[in-house]
Amino acid sequence: MVNEFSSFARRILKCGMLVAALTGMPLPAAATQMPVPDDSVASMGSVGPAIIQTFLDTGASVVRTNSDTSCVVSARILIEESTYVDTDGTVLDFARIRRSPATSIQAIAPETGDLRFRIQLKYSPRADRPIRMTFGDIDWDLSDVLEDSTDSLSITGERAAVLAAAFRAGLRPQLVAVSRDNDHVVTDRIEVPDLNDLAACKAELKPDAAQVPSTLITMRFQADPVTSPLATLGELQDCRMADEPGELHVAKISQTTGFFSQTDKVFVAFDKHGKVSRAYVPGIFDGDFRNGRRDVRISIAANSNVPMEPNAVKGCLGLAPVAICSYDSGDQRYLGVCEQALAALSTPEKPEVPSLLDSVGPNPFGGFPKGGDVIITGGVTPTPTPITPKPPGRGPKTPITDLPPAPQPPQEPEPSPVPVPSSALLMLGGLALMAGLRRRKAR
């Protein structure tokens, strides 16, 4: 038994030495205060393309990627008013239908290029059967514009121009298709996106150096438990939520990064201290921050597809889990990368990481947090300040408000080797002591 413990201790010591050797590269000093798993970048949502989406007061949004900029307006397809017919001709009750509330149409006006439309069906129609859109005298088969994601349609060129004219005339096209999964015949009415808001957005579109696309999952919105309106029963039912009225508030998203949202609406719950405890964007974002949690499920489709490029990914809410934190500053709310994890990733040896962080800014709300909290600095080499220890049970202190922050000049961090965690040293010491005691007892 002594030999087994001694051998185990030696193996642990070798592993510790290996970890120390592998992680002994210079890091910013504050980066050593929190271990970050190898998949930390992916866990913060960097699986899709870099994107930043800024919502205007009208509900239109400006969407920027590393290669394109466009204005987008969306309209929800009222799936609860659609009809679903089984193979035997039975009209199915909507309560039996599983379909995402993110079902919608987008009108997309690129900075350069012609107007286009995308219909997110949120089910896969059979490509070998007609996908019929009818309005006025028009009867189209859209099976030829079914995207690689298999659950969306991309309408461009002459068809887009004709559809835009129909929308301006107030027509609501009908779309009929057969589900690939169960052969249900699905009939939708396509709502009219606001093309006037789209035109106004494009007229004001111009370069903005402060709008930096990022792959990191973040969301900003303004909400508080006193003035933010409560969600009505109708709103909850439309979004297929089981919550009772009086529990969730409705807020307006101002900006997201790392994913595209078909709506500027977010449902929010608060804890007894007025902190955000839950946040839900219908069909694409579900965050649970109760009791210190930082669990967010994100739609992999929203995380992977962007308006200006063909949709290639189909996915449900929850297929792209991420770990992010909730921060408050008055009624300004920020959901995004946790400060300690971000600090640990900001290293000269990982030049790809800082490029992901530019849109985060000096800290979620600008200015400088009180009490020595980590300050996330923009630029090529973000430099965090040391974290002041806090009593157990207390979350991050509230930073002051100044949105958005101005980029700060880069600073060179002082190298600091990563020490073996104290918990590992204690474990090694305990194992060595146990081995020594057993050796003495054996004598």
Give the pLDDT score at 328: 83
Q: Are residues 11 and 129 in the same domain?
A: no
Q: Are residues 79 and 167 in the same domain?
A: yes
Using alpha carbons, select from 349, 398, 352, 299 the residue that is nearest to residue 100.
299
Give the pLDDT score at 364: 43
| Cα 130 from chain centre | 34
Q: Are residues 17 and 77 in the same domain?
A: no
CATH for 193:
2.60.40
The reply to whether 423 falls in a domain is yes
Q: Are residues 20 and 80 in the same domain?
A: no
Q: Are residues 88 and 167 in the same domain?
A: yes
Q: Are residues 15 and 123 in the same domain?
A: no
Give the pLDDT score at 443: 53
Q: With H, G, I as helix, E, B as strand and everything else as coil, classify residue 20.
A: helix
Give the pLDDT score at 234: 72
Cβ distance 65 to 49 under 8 Å? Answer: yes
CB burial of 163-184 (b: ≥16 within 10 Å; e: otherwise) equals: bbebbeeeeebebbbbbbeeeb
Give the pLDDT score at 77: 96
Q: With H, G, I as helix, E, B as strand and everything else as coil, classify residue 291.
A: helix
Q: Are residues 83 and 182 in the same domain?
A: yes
Q: Distances in Å between the alpha carbon of 346 and those of 63, 249, 335, 397?
A: 26, 35, 19, 22
Cβ distance 90 to 110 under 8 Å? Answer: no
Using alpha carbons, select from 67, 6, 94, 24 the residue that is nearest to residue 309.
67
Rounded Cα distance between 51 and 259, Å, is 7
In this structure, what token pair is assigned to residue 408? 């700060």
Give residue for tokens 């592993």. 15
Amino acid at site 41: V
Q: Are residues 93 and 181 in the same domain?
A: yes
Give residue for tokens 């969600």. 231
The reply to whether 175 falls in a domain is yes
The reply to whether 103 falls in a domain is yes
Task: Please give the residue range of the domain that contains residue 10.
Answer: 2-24+419-442
Rounded Cα distance between 278 and 282, Å, is 13
Rounded Cα distance between 302 and 324, Å, is 17
Q: Are residues 196 and 76 in the same domain?
A: yes
Cβ distance 20 to 420 under 8 Å? Answer: yes
The reply to whether 349 falls in a domain is no
Other Cβ atoms within 10 Å of 295 Cβ, number: 13
Rounded to 5, what percent of the chain is helix, strand, coil? 25, 25, 50
| 156, 188, 203 - which closes a domain | 203
Give the pLDDT score at 330: 77
Give the strand order in the sheet containing 83-85.
83-85, 185-189, 174-178, 132-135, 138-141
Give the pLDDT score at 260: 96
Residue-by-residue DSSP string for 245-260? TTS-EEEEEEEEESS-
CA angle 337, 343, 349 (to 5 degrees): 115
Enumerate residues 6+ apart whose C-beta is below 8 A from 287: 278, 279, 280, 295, 296, 297, 324, 326, 335
Rounded Cα distance between 400 and 113, Å, is 41
Using alpha carbons, select from 96, 122, 104, 240 the residue that is nearest to residue 180.
122
Q: Over its length of 443 residues, how does the chain's per-residue pLDDT go in tens digits?
A: 434 334 434 443 333 333 333 233 332 322 222 222 223 333 444 467 899 999 999 999 999 999 999 999 999 999 999 999 999 999 999 989 989 999 999 999 999 999 999 999 999 999 999 999 999 999 999 999 999 999 999 999 999 999 999 999 999 999 999 999 999 999 999 999 999 999 999 999 999 999 999 998 999 999 988 888 888 777 777 776 767 667 889 999 999 999 999 999 999 999 998 889 999 999 899 999 988 888 888 888 998 899 999 999 998 776 656 788 888 887 889 998 776 554 444 443 433 333 333 333 334 443 322 222 222 222 222 222 233 333 333 333 333 333 333 333 334 444 433 344 444 444 555 555 455 545 554 55
In this structure, what token pair is assigned to residue 13? 């010591």
Using alpha carbons, select from 142, 163, 164 the residue that is nearest to residue 153.
142
The reply to whether 372 falls in a domain is no
β-partners of residue 322 are 296
Q: With H, G, I as helix, E, B as strand and everything else as coil, classify residue 389.
A: coil
The reply to whether 106 falls in a domain is yes
Q: Are residues 199 and 74 in the same domain?
A: yes
Rounded Cα distance between 28 and 204, Å, is 41
Q: Are residues 112 and 10 in the same domain?
A: no
Q: Are residues 180 and 120 in the same domain?
A: yes
Number of domains in the chain: 2
In this structure, what token pair is assigned to residue 326? 């909730």
The reply to whether 381 falls in a domain is no
pTM above threshold 0.75: no
Report which DSSP code applies to 420: P
| 203, 221, 246 - which closes a domain | 203
| 203, 223, 251 - which closes a domain | 203
The reply to whether 231 falls in a domain is no
